[in-house]
Amino acid sequence: MSSTPPLTTGMMEKRRRVMITPEGVAVPITVASRGSRIGAIILDFLILYFGMLFVFLLLIWAAGGLIEDVMAGADEQVQGAAEFLLVVLILAIFMVRYGYFLAMELGPRGATWGKRITGIRVAARDGGRLTAEAIIARNLIRDIELFMPLVFLMVAPTGEAGAAGVAGAAWFLLFMAFPFFNKDAMRAGDVIAGTWVVEAPRIKLAELITTRDNAQGGSMLTGTRYEFGEAELGIYGEHELQTLERVLRGGSTEAIIAVHETICRKIGWEPGAGDERAFLEAFYAQLRARLEGEMRFGRRKKDKFS
């Protein structure tokens, strides 16, 4: 008997989608819940807050007696040094705030630390790789979606902004509430960038899909041993490995057959029939072992375009 409550199961079913990759492969995914996205952004800003607080305290320590000298009316050179440190602090805040999201989401996991903790990640809606343009677009829009509404909400009750402030608050609140008006919980930034946020479960594949058990590529069905050379494994990277993992974990028979045919054509093999899963498990295991070995030497291949 399943321990998952029926209500929870029904809600997860509503978030299940099928993503079509550029190769025409249907990959099952689950759209991240609004709660997990809110939790991720809160965690990310807590990480940023304490990180910048550490930098701020470090700058104060580096400044030494400058602050005390300025307060005591020191000369213009000391004041100039203090102003320089203030500029450095402002630039550091700006770089950390934007650089954190850009660097983390452009990484192979496509997720910030907050997203990793809540088990979600950013993905391209067309099933392709995440581009720098898409990540920059979705993060620049965050100011309109989150920070501007918060500013207007703080200013509007004071009456200082007048009717324009109330109208501005209402306008920006539409952007903030946008994820609640579409079934995929997409922000306006996601719509513009062509991305969405999906679940990235931490569960491991079945024991059959491991580098230790399948690195030699033995098929339990036919006894065939699939072994791939460096040139064949070198075609794909981490992005394709993750896609293959999702197909093996929850893909339909049609998806497995389609991926098998795609990989065979790419590496120059003649696609057979009836042993597709064993072929893909062997290819996954050997590709994963190869990529992990490369990473030990500081070399990473993000995708087939790298």
Give the model's pLDDT for residue 118.
92
Are 166 and 107 members of one domain? Answer: no
Are 218 and 268 members of one domain? Answer: yes
Give the model's pLDDT for residue 213.
47
Q: Give the CA-trace dihedral at 123, 128, 134, 139, to 10 degrees.
A: 10
Give the model's pLDDT for residue 211.
43
Q: Is residue 3 part of a domain?
A: no
How many Cβ atoms are within 10 Å of 113's Cβ, its own excluded? 16
Q: Is residue 303 part of a domain?
A: no
Dist CA 239 CA 79 (whole Å): 51
3-state secondary structure of 32: coil
Are 235 and 264 members of one domain? Answer: yes
Give the model's pLDDT for residue 197.
92
Dist CA 229 CA 203 (whole Å): 29
Are 115 and 264 members of one domain? Answer: no
Q: How far is CA 245 from the centre of its chain?
A: 16
Are 110 and 26 members of one domain? Answer: yes
Q: Which residues pair with 28 in a beta bridge?
A: 18
Are 30 and 50 members of one domain? Answer: yes
Q: Is residue 282 part of a domain?
A: yes
Q: Is residue 271 part of a domain?
A: yes
Are 95 and 130 members of one domain? Answer: yes
Enclosing domain of residue 168:
144-181
Q: Regarding beta strands 26-30 and 120-124, do their DSSP bridges make them parallel or antiparallel, or are they unpaired?
A: unpaired
Residue linked to tokens 């609640």: 180
Q: Is residue 110 part of a domain?
A: yes
Q: Which residues pair with 198 in a beta bridge?
A: 31, 121
Are 57 and 119 members of one domain? Answer: yes
Asked whether 127 and 22 are in contact (CB, 8 A), the reply is yes
Burial 19-46 (b: 16+ CB within 10 A, else e): bebebebbbebbbbbeebbebbbebbee
pLDDT along the chain (306 residues), means of 10: 53 77 72 90 90 78 60 55 70 80 84 91 84 88 74 64 64 78 88 89 48 49 73 84 80 80 86 79 86 73 74
Give the model's pLDDT for residue 46.
92
Give the model's pLDDT for residue 212.
45
Dist CA 283 CA 236 (whole Å): 11
pTM (two decimals): 0.64
Q: Is residue 1 part of a domain?
A: no
Are 21 and 133 members of one domain? Answer: yes
Are 35 and 117 members of one domain? Answer: yes
Task: Give the contacts of 71 (CB within 8 A, at least 6 positions apart).
Answer: none
Q: Is residue 2 part of a domain?
A: no
Are 193 and 228 members of one domain? Answer: no
Cα angle 143-148-152, degrees, rounded to a multiple of 5: 175
Task: Give the contacts of 164 (CB within 8 A, at least 6 positions apart).
Answer: none
Q: Is residue 296 part of a domain?
A: no
Task: Give the contacts of 274 (CB within 8 A, at least 6 positions apart).
Answer: 221, 222
Asked whether 63 and 88 are in contact (CB, 8 A), the reply is no
Asked whether 236 and 304 are in contact (CB, 8 A), the reply is yes
Helix axes 253-267, 238-250, angle to 10 degrees: 150
Q: Which helix (H) or strand (E) holds 169?
A: helix 162-176
Q: How many structural domains comprise the chain?
A: 3
Are 153 and 98 members of one domain? Answer: no
Cα angle 305-272-220, degrees, rounded to a multiple of 5: 100
Q: How far is CA 55 from the centre of its chain?
A: 25
Give the model's pLDDT for residue 25.
66
Q: What does each C-alpha distance from 125 to 129, 193, 196, 288 come to in angstroms? A: 9, 9, 6, 24
69 DSSP assignment: H
